[in-house]
């Protein structure tokens, strides 16, 4: 899948988001090393701790289908600024793909691309255990 197709896939997920509380839809498209793509959207819950972000939705879907080798993820939002993964999502991505490319989009479709290490320079991993 091309970079532009992956971005369009993440943007398409915005319409599937369930966000009646924040009104902040987020879509994600996660590309595996073998080219398989898993999508996600945020799914809110009145009990806020039960809410799951788009990025983690995509990762959970991928891992549950036997995929763990991720190369890039696009995170799309409808805000003026870039939609970046929250801290919890950064940590989950770090568990499986510490070298993943993270492409953050704003509502204009402009992108900011950077390695996860720039977003989470001291991520907790198995070496601390």
Active site residue 55: yes
Q: Which member of 55, 65, 88, 110 is catalytic?
A: 55
Q: What is the dihedral of CA 111, 3, 14, 61, to 10 degrees?
A: -120
Residues sharing a CB contact under 8 Å with residue 71, sequence separation 6 or more, in sequence order: 31, 32, 33, 97, 100, 101
Which residue, among 60, 66, 77, has the nearest Cα to 17 in the 3D structure?
77
Phi-psi category of 120—alpha, beta or left, where left has phi over 0 and alpha has psi -120 to 50? Answer: beta
Give yes or no for a contact between 78 and 25, defined as CB atoms under 8 angstroms apart.
yes
CA distance 123 to 47: 27
Catalytic positions, written as ranges: 55
């Amino acid at each position: 899948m091309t970079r532009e197709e992956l971005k369009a896939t993440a943007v398409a997920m915005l319409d599937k988001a369930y966000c009646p509380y924040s009104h902040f839809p987020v879509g994600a498209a996660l590309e595996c090393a073998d080219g398989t793509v898993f999508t996600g959207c945020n799914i809110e819950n009145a009990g806020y701790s039960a809410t799951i972000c788009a990025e983690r939705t995509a990762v959970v879907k991928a891992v549950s289908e036997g995929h763990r080798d991720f190369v890039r993820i696009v995170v799309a939002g409808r805000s003026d600024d870039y939609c970046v993964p929250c801290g919890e999502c950064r940590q989950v991505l770090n568990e499986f793909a510490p070298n993943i490319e993270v492409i953050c989009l704003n509502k204009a479709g402009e992108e900011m691309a950077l390695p996860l290490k720039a977003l989470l320079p001291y991520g907790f991993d198995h070496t601390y255990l």
